[in-house]
């Protein structure tokens, strides 16, 4: 896997960028997506294949594979992702939502760039399927 510096729209962001990662390409603008939120640490965009009326992906600008491979150095980023979820929900008048991170292929992770699914607008079952 090749990596290089990531140059985001507007700001220059010196983060790890994987050239064969679809989310790195969305973050860099190489692949077009409906970006609905961006800060120094993360971007959020609508899921291509929504599983709820609101289904937003919140993704760190730094390529981290998943929660299991995050390091102590990533603690700020991990916190910022959850705070971004709260901001996005508030901005969209969403009170109740589900925030999910699939960790590893066996748990349903298909894109190996850490992301939270923010889902709302329907009833969610528990335990999760
Ligand atoms: P995972 O299965 O890894 O937890 O979630 C990956 C999510 O990324 C899936 O819900 C899938 O629909 C979404 N996804 C995959 N490729 C793209 C893409 O190119 N654009 C967008 N917006 N979402 C994508
Ligand atoms: Zn990536």
Which residues does a 6 A CB cutoff place in the pocket of ligand 1?
Answer: 22, 33, 45-49, 57, 102, 108-111
Q: What DSSP state is assigned to residue 51?
A: S
Please give the radius of gyration of the chain, using alpha carbons only, rounded to the nearest integer.
14
pLDDT in tens, 30-66: 999 989 999 999 999 999 999 999 999 999 999 999 9
Statement: residue 8 has pLDDT above 90: no
Q: Is 65 helix (H, G, I), strand (E, B) or coil?
A: coil
Percentage of residues in the chain with pLDDT exceeding 70? 88
Q: What DSSP state is assigned to residue 128?
A: -
Q: How many CB atoms lie within 10 A of CB 9?
A: 11
For the chain, the 3-state helix, strand and coil shares in percent, each to the nearest 5, are 25, 30, 45
Question: Which residues sit with Cβ closer than 5 angstroms to ligand 2, an ion?
Answer: 18, 21, 23-24, 63, 113
pLDDT, residue 15, reads: 61
**Average pLDDT, whole number, for the chain?**
90
With beta carbons less than 8 A apart as the criterion, state whether 61 and 81 touch: no
pLDDT in tens, 79-99: 999 999 999 999 999 999 999
Which ligand ends up closest to the CA of 28? 2
């Amino acid at each position: 896997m090749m990596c290089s510096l990531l140059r985001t729209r507007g700001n220059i962001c010196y983060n790890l960028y994987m050239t064969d990662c679809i989310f790195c390409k969305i973050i860099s603008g190489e692949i077009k997506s409906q970006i609905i939120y961006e800060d120094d640490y993360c971007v959020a965009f609508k899921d291509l294949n929504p599983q709820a009326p609101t289904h937003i992906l919140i993704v760190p600008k730094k390529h981290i594979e998943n929660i299991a491979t995050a390091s102590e150095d990533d603690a700020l980023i991990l916190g910022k992702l959850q705070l971004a979820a709260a901001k996005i929900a508030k901005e969209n008048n969403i009170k109740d939502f589900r925030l999910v991170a699939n960790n590893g292929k066996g748990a349903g992770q298909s894109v190996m760039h850490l992301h939270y699914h923010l889902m709302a607008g329907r009833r969610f079952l528990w335990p999760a399927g």
